Amino acid sequence: MSQNSCGTLYIVATPIGNLEDMTFRAVRTLKEVDLIAAEDTRHSRKLLNHYGIATRMTPYHDHNEQLKTDYLIERLMAGENVAIITDAGTPCIADPGYRVAKAASGHGIRIVPIPGASAITTALSASGLPSDRFIFEGFLPPKQGKRKSRLLELKIDTRVIILYEAPHRLIATLTDINEIFGDCETLVVRELTKMHEEFRRGTPAELLEQYAKQPVKGEIVILISPAEERQDTPQHDIELMIKSLLEDHSLKDTVTRVSAETERPRTEIYAIALAIKNKTKF
C-alpha cells in the first residue's frame, strides 16, 4: 500500500490546565480526524465537550500500548486519519504515544505535529534560569538507589536540569537533590496555568522545609540551576556513584560509566570500585 493511500497521524498538544490554551488548529484537527487516541478518554471527554468535538475516541495508555498501537496502525493503513492526545500537554514527550509515532514512521505513514502547551518550556520560560541549554529527564526512577545514581550522573551536567515528579515522591526527591547537589538554586513548579499555579524558589533544603509543612497536590516540574563552574567530582560523590551503580551493573560497566562521567582515569576509578566491591577501606 502506498503512502498516499494511508491516513495521517496527528500529534496534537492540549492544554496543561487552562482550557483557553487550546489552539484553533488543534480544535479543527480533532474535529476533522476519524479517530482520537487519548490517554484517558474520560478526562479528555471534558476537553472535547468544551469545544464541541464529537470525534470518536479510543483509549491508549501504558497498559494496552502494544495492542492499541497495532490497532491504530491498521486504521491508518486503511486510510483513516488519527490524532493522539495526552491528558495534558504535548503527546509523545515522557508519554507512551511515542510508540505509535515510531510504528507509523516505520510504515511510511505521514506524521504531523500540532504544537501547543508543554510543561517543560512553560516552566523554564518563567523560571529566570538560563534557557539556552537545558536537559529534560522526565521522571526519575522511583527507587532511591537508582534515583540517587541518576542524580549523581546529572550533577556534572552544566545545563539547567528539568524533571517531572509525582506529588507523593516530591519530599524523597528533594531530599536526594539536597544530599547530592547541596545549596543549588532549585524551583518547584506546580499546577501550571491553573488557578493555584505556584513557583517556589530556594535551595533544596529550604524547599524541603516548606513542603514538609503541607500536603502537595498537582503536577510538578522541578528545575535545578546549572553550576557556574564544575570542579573535579569530589571523592565522596565518586564513591556514592560507584556504590549506586554496582547495585545493578558489573564492575567493568561501573568503571566505564563513572570514568566517563567524572573524566577521571579508569585505573583510579577501578581501584576505588574494587575496594568498595570487596568492602575494604581506602
Q: What is the rounded average pLDDT of the residues 111-123? A: 97
State pTM to two decimals: 0.78
Residue 112: count other Cβ atoms within 10 Å of its Cβ. Answer: 12
Tell me the residue ranges of DSSP E strands in the chain: 8-12, 35-38, 57-59, 82-85, 110-114, 134-139, 160-165, 186-190, 198-202, 220-224
What integer pLDDT is reported at residue 238 of this predicted model? Answer: 83
- The pLDDT tens digits of the residues spanning 206-228 come to 999 999 988 898 889 999 998 65
Residue 195: count other Cβ atoms within 10 Å of its Cβ. Answer: 7
Round the average pLDDT of the chain to a whole number and report it.
90
How far from 144 is each of 32, 208, 247, 273, CA to CA, in Å?
Answer: 46, 17, 12, 20
Going by pLDDT thresholds of 50, 70 and 90, the confidence category of residue 83 is very high
* Rounded distance between C-alpha atoms, residue 107 and residue 225, angstroms: 41
Give yes or no for a contact between 7 and 34, defined as CB atoms under 8 angstroms apart. yes
Of 2-16, 221-235, 253-267, the least confident: 221-235
The grid coordinates listed for 123 are 516552566
- The pLDDT tens digits of the residues spanning 169-204 come to 999 999 999 988 888 999 999 999 999 999 999 999
Give yes or no for a contact between 96 and 86, defined as CB atoms under 8 angstroms apart. no
